[in-house]
Structure 1
Amino acid sequence: MSSAQPISLLLCALGGEGGGTLTDWLVDTARHAGYAAQATSIPGVAQRTGATTYYLEVFPTPLAELRGRRPVFGLNPLPGRLDALVSSELLETGRQIGNGLASGEHTLVITSSSRAFTTAEKMVMGDGRRDEAPLLALVREHSRAHHVLDMAALTREAGTVVSAVMLGAIAASGLLPFTRADYEAVVGGAGGHAKASLRGFALAFDAVSAQREQARWVEQVMNDDAEAPVPAAATPPALLAPFPTALHDILALGHARAVEYQNAAYGLRYLERLQRVLAAERAGDPAGAQGFAATREAARWLALWMAFDDIVRVAELKARASRAERVRREVKAGNGDLLRVYDHFKPGAPEFAAMLPESLARRVLAWDQRRVQRGQAPWALPLKVSSHGVLGLLALRALAATKRLRPLGSRFATEQALMDRWLAAVERGARADARLGLELAKCGRLIKGYGSTNERGKDNLLHIVDHLSDATKAGAAEAVAQAREAALADEAGTALDRALVQHGAPARPLKAQPIRWHHNPRLKKPAH
């Protein structure tokens, strides 16, 4: 309880915009949802010379789980520690950022792109309006995330006051652990203007939700070298109900990825694994001081790991119509141009063994290993597939269709076992120390790429888990964090080995590498 931190918001509204009503709505929503909250205000003036600010704190753990204990709230915001800065006017947002209240690492900024001009701007003989571009740049620089929308236009469209629009933006941001129904229950009982307020709430909620969805999509595409996934159906709310509202966005994306990669059962497996992580984190951090950070990180990296690349996945991505369209755009092919695309594959024994049951896979790998020990190169089958033609595309589609058989393959079983091994360490760490659980969850970032890069990442992760995740040792969380960063900074692993030894863990074992001698026909035998 002593280490828990309330969620803090600073609300900035001009005189007559209903800032007090907005604050009351938020406090009433918190009580309706079963959470503790406190609000204070600093009165301003009704003209454009200043704003009335309202400071709100919400404790992120339901009162029912506190067993009679009461949180201690603050009365004023601390510079750089705000969780959210919400303002109805762009220049006022810049004024509060200038006061040092927001930070690029910690603060969500929700602001309006509309302006209410100051007296100084109106007094200029010409055009005295401030340029908006520097203000928007200030918002981007001093926020971990931001939502900018034209609140004045939404207010006019709904026929309401801006406070209802601000409430909808806050609700859609996911910052507070309340559902949309909690907000609407409070606003809907607000008297004769309730319908207009609900319209303004809904418009802002939809606008911010669309911005968040677009940002998630862009981030996913930028962080994934593969083709963008096929849009999946929305995750049923019943599946997300066991999780805090703040996690629903990342969980919905992860679940959709798992379903698209395999099937609905695979998506349920993803959520069931994270329910165990969440239960462990709640046991180690009942007050929610970390904001369920370990579960969020585990959700992010587990989704990527569960959708690991194999030859079936590669074929599926290459056979998509969106991929053909992208290639035509990249080469600037016109409608009347003939475009031929050839895909080159070189699957080796590991790729074929991955699709076989464990017993057969061992035989294939052992055969290839004997070849290597005799000085031969690992076996591989070079293929050239004309994916622009009917036969080539049918071959890719047929290979992609074998994903139904993927769970029978040896690699699928191996990958699932490794995932469970990592998640078990996250659960143990989270139960003992919230920080340790978070750092172990972040180690999922080590799994990336394919082939030797992917294998090296898994080896590094498991070595860290096996030798540095003991919660009984002092500084375990810091040791895991340093080892992870060292593994990411140095591909050769030298920095990781130093970090391991520094924290009392053994360096990674050396792996045998074959030495191959090649005959050079250009060299002539020396004359005798």
Structure 2
Amino acid sequence: MNIDTTNHPITLLLCALGGEGGGVLADWLVEVAQRAGHAVQSTSIPGVAQRTGATTYYLEFAPRPPDPAAPTGRRPVFSLYPVPGQVDLLVSSELLETARQVSLGVTSAERSQVISSRARALTTAERMPLGDGRLDSDRLVAVLRQHSREQHLLDMAALTREAGTIVSAVMLGAVAASGVLPFARALYEAAIGTGGRTAEASRRGFAAAYEQVQRQREQGEALRKVIAAAPGVPAPPLLPPELACRFPAAVHPMLALGHARLVEYQDADYASVYADRLERVLAAEREADPHAAQSWATTREMARWLALWMAFDDIVRVADLKLRAARLARIRAEARAGNGDVLKVFDHFKPGIPEIAGLLSAPLAGALQRWDERRQRRGLAPWSFKLTLGTHTLRGALALRTLGAMRSLRPRGQRFAQEQALIEHWLAGVVDLTRRHWASGHEVALCGRLIKGYGSTNERGKAALLHVLDQLARQVPFAGDDERADAIARARQAALADDAGRALDQALVSMGAAPRPLREQPIRFVRRRPGVQAAVQAAAQGHVPGSAAGS
């Protein structure tokens, strides 16, 4: 049999995560090629990735239909696997997966076009750090641009949600608009089909991606330059003029966000306290850096982390967020509920002593906490109760609305006073260190990243920040201020890398500081029920109750 080696095949590599319909996409492309009379070969390569599992689909297409004048028996030669640097089009539904394939060398800067979603499915390693453990998406995009001839980035997850389909239909539209394959748009739409709601949704997703990639191709390099030149965070228009006059322009974007957040969280007076606190940091930074060589970086960072700490989560804020219109709209969109559909939303709560005591005065809160501590010393679990509210019902909505309206009680509560005292302690440390040595004050300001989450996570973060401030910033002697700033930075990075705090304790000891003090933890013994104990003993002996003896 004669082998045709005159026509180089068009190569395409598809990357999809588990459950995204990658096999359906490959079948659609095979059908398109067959409708056009082109020879095609498809190979799936199953694999396991860090998230839900990834499968790649490799396809090769004959660039043109067979020549009727060619001798019979001649057919193209296709490969089962992609050859490094020889892929014409790489299409992926997840940005990190795209970068992973590029890192394997399948693309080349001279030949390959890459179409990728901007969406991310976070890996386990990214979810583990206490701080922001996400990989930098800008660096991933830079890798794509370095190792491909042309790139198209779109939010496939958003297009999929809007169309009510699966991402494979969106990827098909992107492939069709890429111009790599010599097939008309009508052939792709014919492969999807026309009957039923599923086909209609797939055609909507196909059209949305097709138009977006086509628009990107038409705009080309000019559009990418506009996007690259766009400012990262535009100044919000609602910054009060009297506040803008008190701070440099470089601080305005973050200041406006923080001020608006605290007005919404409590009231205008509370936001004024935020501005006054931030002005103290600005005054210290003006002393340390009068010529603004650092572009007021410490004040900008404090504008961010101070606002987040001052807007700490409590039961009032949780109740308020539960009834936000944006949340209910998101739930309806995720459930794909139509205008005539009835959607029921149940919110589950488990408030305990810390949540209740937070809104009480110090004497009442202290008595309640001591009562719960005595219970725990007797081996009982911390007191709490389960509560389920139907947010869609009048009763549930009124209960949440009533609780959310109790923000006037917040400043009188024990937790508010405790949080303000801790904030002032941190703020005083930032101001004092900034005056003495700008870099040291900046590093302590960045320690605001440690304050996140709620419950025990929030408590550990605050304890770590204050310990770093009191030990490294104030007590441990260093050879110079630069060494102190470096030690604070290393301690902060250690705290963010390990939620349990072991890395932080090791870092503190290595720098001559005391480790964090141990905290007592009650030990609770749980008595097994007689039936459960008998079942455990039977299983240990190789017997399962109600069945034949195990071998």
Alignment TM class, shorter chain as reference: 0.5 to 0.7
Residues 216-295 of structure 1: matches in 2 within 5 Å? 234-295=238-299
How far 1:134 sits from its partner (Å)?
5.9
* Shift in Å, 1:242: 1.3
Aligned AA for 2:507? A
Task: Could you tell me which runs of 5 or more consecutive residues in structure 2 were left unpaired when the two chains were aligned.
Answer: 1-137, 140-216, 538-551
> Are residue 430 (structure 1) and residue 434 (structure 2) matched?
yes
Distance 1:498 1:331 in 2: 47
2:501 pairs with 485, 493, 499, which one? 493
Distance 1:379 1:132 in 2: 61
Partner of 2:489: 481
Shift of 1:212: 3.8
Counterpart in the other structure of 2:518: 510
- Quote the residue 1:47 is aligned against: none
Question: Which residue number corresponds to residue 21 of structure 1?
Answer: none
Q: In structure 2, the residue corresponding to 1:470 is in which secondary structure?
A: coil
Once the two structures are superposed, what CA deviation does each residue of 1:493-526 show, in whole Å capped at 9, x if it has no partner? 1110111111111011111111111112222599
* 1:255-289 alpha-carbon deviations (Å, 9 max, x no partner): 00011100000110110000000101111122222
What are the residue-to-residue correspondences of 1:199-210 with 2, within 5 Å?
A: none
Measured in 2, the distance between the counterparts of 1:247 and 1:406 equals: 29
Query: Quick one: which amino acid aligns to residue 429 of structure 1?
Result: L
DSSP-derived class of the 2:385 partner = coil
- The whole-number CA distance in structure 1 between the counterparts of 2:224 and 2:486 is 34
Distance of 1:260 and 1:138 partners within structure 2: 37
- Structure 1 unaligned spans of 5+: 1-103, 106-129, 141-145, 149-172, 174-210, 218-232
Is the 8 Å Cα contact of residues 360 and 413 (structure 2) preserved in structure 1?
A: yes
Q: Distance in 2 between matches of 1:295 and 1:407?
A: 26
Give the 5 Å matches for 1:46-445.
133=220, 146-148=228-230, 212-213=233-234, 234-445=238-449
Aligned to 1:58: none
Deviations 1:79-138 (A, max 9, x none): xxxxxxxxxxxxxxxxxxxxxxxxx99xxxxxxxxxxxxxxxxxxxxxxxx986467668
- 2 CA distance for matches of 1:356 and 1:412? 10
Residues 235/139 of structure 1: CA separation in 2 closer, same or farther (3 Å cut): closer
Cα deviation digits, residues 372-417 of structure 1 (max 9, x gap): 0000010001101011011110000000000111100100111111
Q: Which amino acid aligns with 2:503?
A: A
Name the % identity. Answer: 54
Is residue 523 of structure 1 aligned with residue 533 of structure 2?
yes
CA distance in 2, matches of 1:131, 1:339: 42
Letter in 1 for 2:320: E
- Tell whether the 8 Å contact from 1:469 to 1:480 is kept in structure 2 after alignment: yes
Q: 2:77 corresponds to which residue?
A: none
Secondary structure of 1:426's partner?
helix
Structure 1 match to 2:201: none
How large is the RMSD of aligned CA atoms in angstroms? 2.4
1:472-499, CA deviations, whole angstroms, 9 ceiling, x for partnerless residues? 7321100100000000001111110111
Shift >6 Å, 4+ stretches: none
Name the larger-Rg structure.
2
Q: Distance in 1 between matches of 2:268 and 2:533?
A: 61
State the Cα deviation string for residues 57-93 of structure 1 (Å, max 9, x = none). Answer: xxxxxxxxxxxxxxxxxxxxxxxxxxxxxxxxxxxxx
Paired amino acid for 2:510: Q
3-state secondary structure, aligned to 1:287: coil
Amino acid in structure 2 at the alignment position of 1:457 = G
Residue deviations 1:35-73 (CA, integer Å, cap 9, x gap): xxxxxxxxxxxxxxxxxxxxxxxxxxxxxxxxxxxxxxx
1:470–1:476: 8 Å Cα contact kept in structure 2? no
- Residues matched between the structures, number: 317
Q: Secondary structure at the match of 1:523?
A: helix
Distance 1:482 1:324 in 2: 42
CA offsets per residue over residues 422-450 of structure 1, 9 Å max, x none? 11100011001111111010000000000
- Residue identity opposite 2:229 in structure 1: H
**What secondary structure does 1:337 align onto?**
coil
Distance 1:138 1:235 in 2: 29
- CA 1:492–1:135: 2 relative to 1, 3 Å: farther
TM-score (norm 2): 0.55
SS at match of 2:411: helix
Kept in 1, the 8 Å contact 2:354–2:369? The answer is yes
**Where do residues 450-469 of structure 1 align in structure 2 (5 Å cutoff)?**
450-469=454-473
Secondary structure of 1:385's match? strand
| Local SS of the residue matching 1:294 | helix
Question: Per-residue CA shift, 1:150-184, capped at 9, x if unaligned?
Answer: xxxxxxxxxxxxxxxxxxxxxxx6xxxxxxxxxxx
Per-residue CA distance 1:321-343 (angstroms, 9 max, x = gap) = 22222211110111111111111
Letter matched to residue 525 of structure 2: W
Please give the secondary structure, in 1, of the residue aligned with 2:287: helix
Kept in 1: contact 2:239–2:252 (CA 8 A): no
User: Does 515-524 or 254-263 show the bigger shift?
Assistant: 515-524
Instruction: Specify the SS of the correspondent of 2:263.
Output: helix
CA distance in 2, matches of 1:235, 1:399: 29
Q: Does the aligned pair in 2 maintain the 1:290–1:434 contact within 8 Å? A: no
2:434 & 2:521 partners in 1: Cα distance? 38
2:30 alignment counterpart: none
- AA aligned to 1:449 is G
Matched letter for residue 339 of structure 1: L
- How far apart in 1 are the matches of 2:429 and 2:474? 9
Report matched runs for 1:16-27 at 5 Å.
none
TM-score, structure 1 length as denominator?
0.57
Which string of whole-angstrom CA distances, capped at 9 and with x for unpartnered residues, describes residues 232-254 of structure 1? x8121111211111111111111
SS in 2 for 1:360: helix
What is the distance in 2 between the residues matched to 1:515 and 1:139?
60
